[in-house]
């Protein structure tokens, strides 16, 4: 962490200050979770306001993710939680799997997906949902590039230049592969963890009932046509419910 002054010329750089958040969870790379009444980001720092007053400034590179702490009611969560067909999913790489919608990055996605033995169609869907294919995209939370990597995640994955498409996609695909192995190829849990973090998925025993995360998982699944482990690409649509 750092105690340096937060506002200044850096505020005019890559990231515009984020609007105050009602109540968000700032998750640090060492596992600490801070509930923030407000937060503001510049290109290399985050100023966190605490619910009881006061606050502190930390290096953005130490922040693993920022999760909107809006938990939906139990009944709504039950309706909105994506429910996939009870089949085994084959998330391994297959040549020729459709990466719709088509984008200029399809060749790069194919190459990196093959490197990690991961479904290129799933990677393409994540890119579409995360950045809409914009390699210079920066979220208000500080995530960067095609696959919207936070600085701490990028550093862990050895992504030195998050705006370089090859480095960004290589790191993002590697991260998705780690999540696929951790959550046993369950697409909804992989995507929930990509958005809200592994700890949140494990804590809730499934997709966390965060409004943002529920919407994110639904969005990616609507762009992705899964392949069943049985060996065809004709599995039920990912967004279908039991």
Cβ atoms of 78 and 43 closer than 8 Å: no
Catalytic residue of the set 70, 130, 181, 202: 130
CA distance 109 to 39: 34
Q: Is 178 a catalytic residue?
A: no
Give the position of tokens 């399809």.
106
CB atoms within 10 A of CB 173: 26
Are the C-beta atoms of residues 209 and 75 closer than 8 Å to each other? no
Q: Concatenated DSSP letters for 103-135?
A: -TTHHHHHHHHHHHT--HHHHHHHHHHHHTT-T
**3-state per-residue secondary structure call for 11-62:** HHCCCCCCCCCCCEEEEECCCCEEEECEEEECCCEEEEECCCCCEEEEEHHH
Whether residue 15 contacts residue 42, with contact meaning beta carbons closer than 8 Å, is answered with yes
Name, in order, each residue with C-beta under 8 angstroms of 90's C-beta and a sequence gap of 6 or more.
119, 185, 227, 228, 229, 231
Catalytic residues: 130
């Amino acid at each position: 962490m750092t105690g340096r002054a937060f506002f200044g010329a850096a505020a005019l750089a890559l990231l515009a200050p984020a609007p105050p958040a009602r109540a968000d969870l700032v998750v640090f790379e060492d596992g600490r979770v801070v509930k923030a009444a407000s937060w503001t980001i510049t290109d290399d720092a985050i100023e966190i306001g605490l619910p009881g007053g006061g606050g502190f400034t930390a290096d953005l590179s130490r922040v693993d993710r920022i999760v909107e702490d809006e938990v939906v009611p139990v009944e709504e969560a039950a309706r909105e939680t994506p429910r996939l067909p009870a089949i085994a999913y084959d998330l391994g790489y297959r040549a020729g799997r459709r990466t719709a919608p088509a984008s200029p990055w399809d060749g790069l996605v194919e190459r990196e997906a093959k490197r990690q033995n991961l479904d290129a169609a799933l990677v393409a869907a994540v890119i579409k949902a995360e950045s809409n294919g914009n390699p210079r995209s920066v979220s208000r939370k500080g995530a960067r590039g095609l696959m919207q990597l936070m600085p701490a995640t990028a550093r862990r994955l050895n992504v030195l230049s998050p705006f370089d498409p090859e480095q960004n996609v290589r790191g993002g695909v590697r991260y998705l592969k780690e999540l696929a192995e951790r959550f046993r190829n369950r697409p909804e849990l992989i995507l929930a963890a990509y958005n809200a973090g592994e700890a949140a998925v494990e804590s809730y025993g499934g997709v966390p009932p965060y409004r943002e995360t529920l919407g994110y998982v639904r969005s990616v699944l609507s762009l992705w046509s899964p392949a069943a482990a049985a060996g065809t690409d004709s599995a039920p649509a990912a967004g279908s419910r039991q």
